[in-house]
Structure 1
């Protein structure tokens, strides 16, 4: 029987065709002859305990910006009739995202392979998860207590403060020695002590790029995409104007991957993006890691194909 794959993602008609990693995954699944379906987050639902969705079959996937997919009319589908579901909805990681993982978990209990595992999507905050590997991380604190955050700043002098639920470099502040804006930055990010944030010692090697390292079932792709900040910027995120520079993994990069690989596999995190600055792991992206297309095109890779092969193996051994 033909494998059926569905993807939960943001509006497929609004993607950046040149860069979209989810499109690369769909193209890889299409090359395998799989049936493809598209689901928007708001179209997932539970009916008497059964996970269902309004979804559209997707065909004719290509990288032609003018005609990159064909969508059929929406139909109601029992998710247990799907073999694998990719959860690729971008943050924010809000209550609606959590509710979606509950629905996907119901589908998982009914026999569907969900990538990444819904429980792990809930458990593994992309900022905090990295702190489970302190041997890989720079000095870091998670708190909403202004006194503790100020003490961390006083100890390290040059610090990054950032929210725990953002993406694309939003609301990230660098506070240098003597910065008069420290109080207002902490008040804003913590909502006057009501919301926990992350403090991280500034890593000067950010000037050489914030490396995105992709892992498929715990195995790293041999190349990273270093996102180099624009002039005058601290953030390397492509969404914040960073420039992508593909490069081979270093020995330290591979060591970091080895440190986290077993945990990723144990938690059912089949596709993950590590963020590494210099020698330090700063984030573990589990919701919708990107940079497939940039690495594929530069090194003639097929990372989406690697992921589909790993999924196929998971389906065989279910």
Structure 2
């Protein structure tokens, strides 16, 4: 198969990214791997959708360090691919990273992903589903029993009233954001710096206020779902507990969170099962759930990470399982023609 990974930028790719693990697994299984960025699509007058992409030619690195060095180096080969000749377009760009510096790029994966699906490529996650999940408001579409009590507003008075109603405290964070940036805990509506916190969080738009879950002091569990179900091999789940750094409430790896082995509980599996119908309906092939106790605090559908950390902790490289699932989807499409929509195929 030809697999194109859409990322924010080539120079921004890192050895510890899940995309790197997925690309290495695809190369190891004999597939042709290409990388493209939001500005690389071309819709020609004849209706052909092209993408300018880079590949490594015949090189098949086995280590992340070698792969990323080659990807950034001068030995890459530049291609102009017809999407009709691409089997999989894997949307791995994070729109929140582009919201400030180049807002035009935030929609590129979704817009051109739709066109790619119309031209026969398998596009994951499904672009129509991603369009509904471009910010944390997506979480509100899932059952109330699986998520914390949440307020979304740009009015400080609403925030103060919400804090007063939750004596354990409240987490404030941007509606559009990732990586743990501008995440704060507020314990009282009378905190002297509440106005400053609100200004920092609301600078980019709406603010999410969530009830603080005391169990979060031990971190959260990132649990991967594939095709709507927990990703596992044998008895091992694709999951990792992310423990906050000392003095920090954020468990994100970008915020110095520490990965440790996770115990996937029955309560977490109940959360996952309650999430499944909507994830399948939206064509979400690969999703990372962030769970605290029996509550879902975030659902990551664009660039869920931690696959390398999970591989190190469990000795299971789930990237291979993900690539095998894509192979199966390609075979289903090949044998069934156009009988299945991209959304159906994404989670089949």
TM-score by length of 1: 0.92
CA distance in 2, matches of 1:12, 1:60: 18
- Verify the 8 A CA contact 2:180 2:252 in the aligned structure 1: yes
Q: Please, which runs of 5 or more residues in structure 1 have no aligned partner? A: none
| Corresponding residue of 1:189 | 201
Distance 2:94 2:148 in 1: 26
Question: Which of residues 2, 8, 15 in structure 1 aligns to 2:6?
Answer: 8
The Cα RMSD (Å) is: 1.9
Partner of 2:33: 36
Choose 64-73 or 178-187, whichever is displaced more.
Answer: 64-73
Q: How does 1:70-109 map to 2 (within 5 A)?
A: 72-92=76-96, 94=99, 95=103, 96-109=105-118
Segments of structure 2 that go 5 or more residues without pairing to the other structure are 232-236, 334-348
Alpha-carbon separation, structure 1, partners of 2:326 and 2:77: 27
Structure 2 equivalent of residue 260 of structure 1? 275
Say which of 232, 251, 255 aligns to 2:247: 232
Contact persistence 2:238–2:318 (CA under 8 A): no
- After superposition, the Cα gap between the structure-2 partners of 1:45 and 1:165, relative to the gap in structure 1 and judged at 3 Å, is farther
- Write out the 4+ residue segments of structure 1 that deviate beyond 6 Å after TM superposition: none
Count of matched residue positions in the alignment of Structure 1 and Structure 2 = 313
| Partner of residue 295, structure 2 | 280
Distance 1:45 1:176 in 2: 50
**Secondary structure, aligned partner of 2:246:** coil
Q: Distance in 2 between matches of 1:61 and 1:9?
A: 19
Query: After the TM superposition, which residues 294-305 of structure 1 pair with which residues of structure 2 at under 5 Å, given as runs?
Result: 294-305=309-320
Cα deviation, 1:200-221, whole Å, max 9, x if unaligned, reads 0111111211211111111213
Normalising to structure 2: TM-score of the pair?
0.84
| Aligned partner of residue 74 in structure 1, secondary structure | strand
CA distance in 1, matches of 2:195, 2:207: 14
State the alpha-carbon separation in 2 of the partners of residues 172 and 149 from structure 1: 14
Q: Following the alignment from structure 1 to structure 2, what is the Cα–Cα distance between the partners of residues 155 and 308?
A: 46
